[in-house]
Amino acid sequence: MIRYNYSLKRHNTFGIAARARRFISLESAEEAKAIIKKENFNTDNCLVLGGGSNILFTGDYGGTIIKPFFNKITIERKSSDNVIISAEAGLEWDKLVEWTVENDLGGLENLSFIPGNVGAAPIQNIGAYGAEVSNLITRIHALSLENGENRVFHNEECMFGYRDSIFKNELKSKYLITSVEFRLKKSPVTFNLSYGKLEPGGEMTLYGIRKAVIKVRKEKLPDPAVKGNAGSFFKNPVINMHSYADLKMRYHDMPSWRTGTGHYKIPAAWLIEKAGWKGKKAGRAGVDHKHALILVNLGNAKGTEILELSNSITDSVRSKFGITLEKEVNII
């Protein structure tokens, strides 16, 4: 279905009242292909929208927004230990996780309760509580936005990194992901508890882990339905050993994780809190009072107000720590 001058308020978790000049709902991969072939999208003027949970609209969108609504889950293949499933792009991410847990398939449980849709998950390589979706993805099916041709991407071709993939870089805005394939473990008996704050208690089952993750997320992160937000606004910065040693001398309490490459990842939330921003308001935009990495819409904020607040935070963290925060959220 095609709509004009369409409100995006329900389609972004910040709850920004921007409008799209044209908005196309896609009900199947075949329909997506047919429409793309007919339209020959100019990719500078076409935006694929998922659940809208990682996007900030700073004004109305003058081009065409296309949004997949197709959402089937299919079991593709089974071996003695694994099952390959595919999920269509428009499926709500957490519905997929719930389905895998109900079917006793392991791998996605630590990624419970992340807002957004399946098609967007690989783009920013969603991750939480010691897991990253890139470790479960086998292949991605996509359509070129320029000519509607099918393309299959194998995991290695996606150039996954921390909140990063080829779809955010060389192939940004070039493809519509139609479905994602995952390799999951049948009836797993071991679980990923590397993130210390997960406490499934006696319930060492997929369901127990899912419950523990949902509990931590609900405690820590504001519900977008109550307070508009897009999860972590910035990435956690990775700094080299010299900068780390320098900062650690000045701030003994600075938390950090050593990465495989001998660098250090610093929680952006800590930097932002230390720079005095936690719970601060700037007009109708604010920094959440429970988690400093979450910028919130306090009610009818414009996207530009949130963007301005984020820029003030970046400036202040840069001048205090010499670290430039990189945004995780897509600014449109």
Query: Which residue from 179, 205, 236, 310 is in contact with ligand EPU, where contact means CB under 6 A?
Result: 236
Per the CB < 8 A criterion, the answer to whether 257 and 192 are in contact is: no
For residue 222, the minimal CB distance to ligand EPU (Å) is: 11
Q: Which of residues 277-316 bind ligand EPU (CB under 6 A)?
A: 278, 291-293
CB atoms within 10 A of CB 295: 29
232 touches ligand EPU (CB under 6 A):
yes
Quick one: which segment of 28-36, 149-157, 169-177, 232-240 binds ligand EPU (CB under 6 A)? 232-240
Give the span between the Cα atoms of 18 and 291, in whole angstroms: 26
Q: One of 22, 163, 183, 210 is an active-site residue; which one?
A: 163
Query: Which residue from 62, 161, 255, 276 is in contact with ligand EPU, where contact means CB under 6 A?
Result: 255
For residue 31, the minimal CB distance to ligand EPU (Å) is: 30
Give the span between the Cα atoms of 86 and 83, in whole angstroms: 10
Burial label, 284 (beta-carbon count in 10 A; 0-12, 13-18, 19+):
middle
Per the CB < 8 A criterion, the answer to whether 134 and 97 are in contact is: no
> At what angle are helices 93-102 and 206-220 packed, to 10 degrees?
150
Q: Which of residues 139-158 bind ligand EPU (CB under 6 A)?
A: none
328 touches ligand EPU (CB under 6 A):
yes
Measured from the CB atom, the residue of 293 and 306 that comes closer to ligand EPU is 293
In which element (H, E) is residue 225 found? none
Query: Which residue from 235, 296, 307, 321 is in contact with ligand EPU, where contact means CB under 6 A?
Result: 235
Measured from the CB atom, the residue of 186 and 327 that comes closer to ligand EPU is 327
Per the CB < 8 A criterion, the answer to whether 182 and 200 are in contact is: no
Q: Which of residues 185-214 bind ligand EPU (CB under 6 A)?
A: 195
Residue nearest to ligand EPU (CB): 231
Which tokens go with 275?
């720079």
Give the span between the Cα atoms of 84 and 77, in whole angstroms: 5
Q: How far is CA 31 from CA 1, 24, 36, 65, 69, in A?
A: 10, 11, 8, 15, 11
Measured from the CB atom, the residue of 31 and 273 that comes closer to ligand EPU is 273
Per the CB < 8 A criterion, the answer to whether 130 and 192 are in contact is: yes
Q: One of 109, 181, 305, 328 is an active-site residue; which one?
A: 328
Residue 34, SS3 per DSSP: helix
Instruction: Identify whether 328 is a catalytic site residue.
Output: yes
Instruction: Identify whether 3 is a catalytic site residue.
Output: no
Measured from the CB atom, the residue of 181 and 328 that comes closer to ligand EPU is 328
Q: How far is CA 241 from CA 237, 238, 247, 258, 271, in A?
A: 13, 10, 10, 9, 17
269 touches ligand EPU (CB under 6 A):
yes
Q: Which of residues 92-131 bind ligand EPU (CB under 6 A)?
A: 128-129
Q: One of 53, 179, 232, 310 is an active-site residue; which one?
A: 232
Strand intervals (E) in 137-207: 137-144, 150-154, 175-186
Which tokens go with 329?
């959220």
Query: Which residue from 270, 277, 305, 306 is in contact with ligand EPU, where contact means CB under 6 A?
Result: 270
220 touches ligand EPU (CB under 6 A):
yes
273 touches ligand EPU (CB under 6 A):
yes
Q: Which residues are catalytic?
A: 163, 232, 328
Q: Which residues contribute to the site for ligand EPU (CB under 6 A)?
A: 128-129, 195, 220, 231-232, 235-236, 255, 267, 269-270, 273, 278, 291-293, 328
